[in-house]
Structure 1
């Protein structure tokens, strides 16, 4: 029987792809702790020995279905249409896992759900996937990677159901899988003319509002206790209203695959909670 051998919420923000000298300039001489956090996460992944890493991509927006990329291999050179002045010329070459993508679709069809596999090697990549592949050195380890989209016309319960189908497909697959929920928590950008509250731009006081900081930290504390039920009970009235990146699809699919309201996996922070243009970012590891 296959199983989820680890999971994490992981920041992918593009500032982390800039050179260390520039990051330290942004950090008033200090680098982002999310960089050191990638090293801590790599150690967790290496210890878990996964057959596949599945990335729940909060930048891959689709309409009508949650898509699961089913190509055997993805190669190319990435240029961001959002920030091409520095996020460009990123080569990628990594294996996919078509069998797992098709298995997710099969389970979803059984259950009347909305997960579909798309087996096209030319499918456009998103930096929410590629930044993680680079920082976690998944190409070097030749670990297959499967990305899952965020369906933008779904409600939060649909994301839980999507994750539930993913979890069942993994159990049937015989594979050891790690889930990476690639995205921020609160995701409101500071205005273009905003003035920093702290000279270290990564500092949490530069997140968009006190209310968002408090809400993010409340969710982090609940996750540390493994109280995903409470996070989900607060979803519609609190976390959905912030909103989290991609309406929280990355977290919801991850926790849905791990049992939804029954999930008790405790969240171990692997980085400081940090700002990125107003958004709240952190790496959190969950051991099933």
Structure 2
């Protein structure tokens, strides 16, 4: 699933490609992608509307076409491309937004898990699950003091907690594994067991990992591309994720994979000790 760096990269790309363009028509080839309103109203409400901006909340894209906002969740493999109208249709092209300038925005989704909701602008934060999303790692309120206080109160395992979108939004499997490795913390450690030094390392690792991934355009570990069809490059920098059986780049020990919080999890058992350090 695309995580914060990938979705933000898509947002930035789409912002350059589609803001200011007017939708002349909409073709819905897979109705179940659209959750609301009806398919007829979905197309009718967007016809003649100009895309004014593209925002993001967590892993959700928000395309504003006043008085409407289109909330799009890419799920596992959703992606957007801007192409010339009349270009041959891929069977995975499910929604087509036709522009009045001869091009169109196409939504592709091999797994067909993505969703779209068209609702009145101003009501987007009332839409589930956006109404329950937590703080973003780049929000001003995401400070070390806030992070340390919240973590110290949780008896949940670190990986489970960091994956919880109601706690911190935008982190997914790839970047949680990478941040925990960078901080030298085992994913099964209880959050409340972390020392202040470990909390500081983890806080800094989350920000640094996401910042580096954003700079690289995200990670193309499966089929992810941005709105211009370009791959991300952060996958070449991955330290543990997807590297089962390979030597740790830090100590040389073999990277292991286990299931934590229901997700495939990659760790270096030597660099990430399960036991909390003794407090002197």
Q: TM-score, normalised by structure 2?
A: 0.26
Higher relative contact order (Cα pairs below 8 Å, separated by 6+ residues): 1
Q: TM-score, normalised by structure 1?
A: 0.25
Greater fraction of residues in helix:
1
